Amino acid sequence: MSDFTLLLLQLLILLSLWLCSSSTSAQTYQNISLGTTITITTSWLSPSGDFAVGFLPLPANSSLFVLAIWFTKTSTKTIVWYANGDSPVSQGSKLQLTSDGQLLLTDHSGLPIWNPYPSGGASYAAMLDTGNLILTKADSTPTWQSFNFPTNTILPTQVLHRNATLRSHLYEDDLTGGKFELSLQSNGNLMMFPVALPTNLTYDAYWATNTQGSGTQLVFDLSGTLYLLLANATRINISTSSISTAISYQRATLDSDGVLRHYMHRGDNWTVISSVPSNMCESNFGGTGSGACGFNSYCQFDDQNLQRICSCPPSFSFLNPDKPYQGCKPDFETPICTTGGDQSGMFEFKEMENVDWPGSDYEHYNSFNETQCRENCINDCFCAVAFSRGLDCWKKKLPLANGRAATYLGGKALIKVSKFGTIPPPLSAPPQLISNTKKGKSVWLIVGLLSLALSLLILLGSIVNIARRPSSKHKSIQLGSCCRRSLELELSDEEEAVLAYWAYDCYRKGKVKTLVGEDTEAMANLDGVVRLLMIAIWCIQEEPSQRPTMRRVNQMLDGDIVDPPPNPSSSSEKFIQSPDCCKPLLGN
């Protein structure tokens, strides 16, 4: 390319920018005079009627309003700019162009909410056909314009300079500041960031043009091309359209999922022309934040609708089913590290092919097959998920972050979940005293609630299969009333202590069925039996400070999470010498 041709190209680009930047003064518009006011029910229109500025109700609360600019001729009023998304107002609020040239938004009580140019001095305002709201001096020089303070959308003829940003909505129906930001940095790099709510701190960028030192302006021209202009007068196209903006409405919006979408209005709908990033699920979010979806969830890309789908792994559910992007919670009681050691009796794995959470690794082993990966995770109370691929094994902790599902990942996620199912609901009826016999020996199962003063139900005991040495006598072990001030576990009878430790060993090894024996009624509600046993073991802790209060016991009985209990004995010797749960306590 000759020097003359390059110079001509640069002049043409600069001319097009000048035309865009001078469009404010070149357009025909109707002046909005000083002293003019709009209320909740009125608005200011652009000359063509394509745009209006006024009040719109919040999608989720029609009694609250935002001052906004919107497309008027689309099937729905599509907002392209707003002033008070974080501070909506109620009926009785108004926007006034004051006599001294201020554009003032006040609430129903007259309290100022928003004032973009408090120094005043404007001679009039205008709503332009570009969607730009301006304040101008008498010589038509703009003193303020909405195009210089964008929210989540950029329109044709709009130019963003260095340090300008777009900020997503929190949700599609919530206009407060969201979790994603697009910024043309002061160094010329155009980047997209996750935002650490409720602050404005940004994490590592998940998309960038890598134009440090050369990017100057983000331009949306009349042909429908969104591009980054570089210092050498060349450009990087972000999105292009085959149809001019003179033929159809267009906009580029940073949506609530962190994707910058170029929209064109066709018929009664907005159609996506392109998306940046093209696949949000594959974006690299670094080591901080939840990723494209919320914590403990994973992202799948919908090729047809060009959007993410956030899902929960097995035995997890959404914190808020109406807002799946908030993430997921485990539906079981997660491991705690009071006992350590083998947890295979309490937990198992659910498999997921081609799903990974690369932001949650805390250990990585090589030359580790899947069996070794499973065993290592099941014996590690910190391990929530193991990911096995070939001879590599990664262990992951909660909360899981940056989850994604894609065939290119390969490998297998092993989700560590409770064998006892989901967290059971509150007890609806008191447990019963069940009698059973085995081999001529009387076996008692105590699962009871002890009624205390003031008719408060406090847990009496849990579940132990007891068989005495050859004698006609039988004994039941009472695992205690759960009141710190009244519980005194008598350990002088060594046999009772041994039975308690044996019951704990059965629980620890996930062999509660050994306690239940052949009782079908107890087997049918094994989750409830395990829950009561856990509460009972807490109640017989030798160390009084570890025993729960009456209030805490009531909370656990009402359905609150019960943490896995520790060894009831403060002496490790007693536990070591206790019977093995694999050997039922039956006489000869």
Q: How far is CA 567 from CA 70, 418, 493, 575, in A?
A: 65, 19, 18, 7
Cα(562)–Cα(578) distance, rounded to whole angstroms?
24
Contact 34, 99 (CB under 8 A): yes
Which of 149, 6, 2, 140 minimizes the C-alpha distance to 69?
149
Structure tokens at 283: 């974006």
- The helix or strand, by DSSP H or E, that contains position 376, with its residue range, turns out to be helix 370-378
> Running DSSP on this structure, what letter comes out for residue 32?
B
* pLDDT for residue 422: 63
* pLDDT for residue 29: 53
Which residue, chain included where needed, has tokens 């076996």?
A: 443
β pairing state of 328-330 and 316-318: antiparallel
* pLDDT for residue 250: 97
Which of 89, 55, 85 minimizes the C-alpha distance to 70?
55
Structure tokens at 158: 């709009």
Per DSSP, the three-state class of 37 is strand
Which residue, chain included where needed, has tokens 């129906």?
A: 173
Chain mean position to CA 516:
41
* pLDDT for residue 91: 95
Cα(173)–Cα(60) distance, rounded to whole angstroms?
6
* pLDDT for residue 340: 54
pTM (2 d.p.):
0.70
Chain mean position to CA 439:
55
Cα(390)–Cα(560) distance, rounded to whole angstroms?
40
* Tens of pLDDT, residue by residue, the chain (588 residues): 454 444 444 444 444 444 444 444 444 457 899 999 999 999 999 999 999 999 999 988 999 999 999 999 998 899 999 999 999 999 999 999 999 999 999 999 999 999 998 888 899 999 999 999 999 998 888 999 999 999 999 999 999 999 999 999 998 888 999 999 999 999 999 999 999 999 999 999 999 999 999 999 999 999 999 999 999 999 999 999 989 998 999 999 999 999 999 999 988 899 999 999 999 999 988 878 999 999 999 999 998 888 899 999 999 999 999 888 899 999 998 887 765 556 777 899 999 999 999 978 999 999 999 999 999 999 999 999 999 999 999 999 999 999 999 999 999 999 999 987 665 444 443 344 333 433 333 333 333 333 332 233 334 343 333 333 334 333 333 333 444 333 344 444 555 556 666 777 777 777 777 766 777 777 777 777 788 888 888 888 877 777 888 777 777 877 777 878 888 765 444 444 445 555 554 443
Q: How far is CA 510 from CA 196, 382, 514, in A?
A: 41, 18, 9
Cα(172)–Cα(178) distance, rounded to whole angstroms?
10
3-state secondary structure 312-358: CCCCEEECCCCCHHHCEEECCCCCCCCCCCCCCCCEEEEEEECEECH
Count of residues in the chain: 588
Contact 122, 103 (CB under 8 A): yes
Cα(275)–Cα(209) distance, rounded to whole angstroms?
15
Question: Position 413: which residue type?
Answer: A
Q: How far is CA 573 from CA 28, 76, 490, 494, 578, in A?
A: 91, 73, 18, 13, 9
Cα(501)–Cα(572) distance, rounded to whole angstroms?
11
CB atoms within 10 A of CB 76: 10
* pLDDT for residue 57: 95
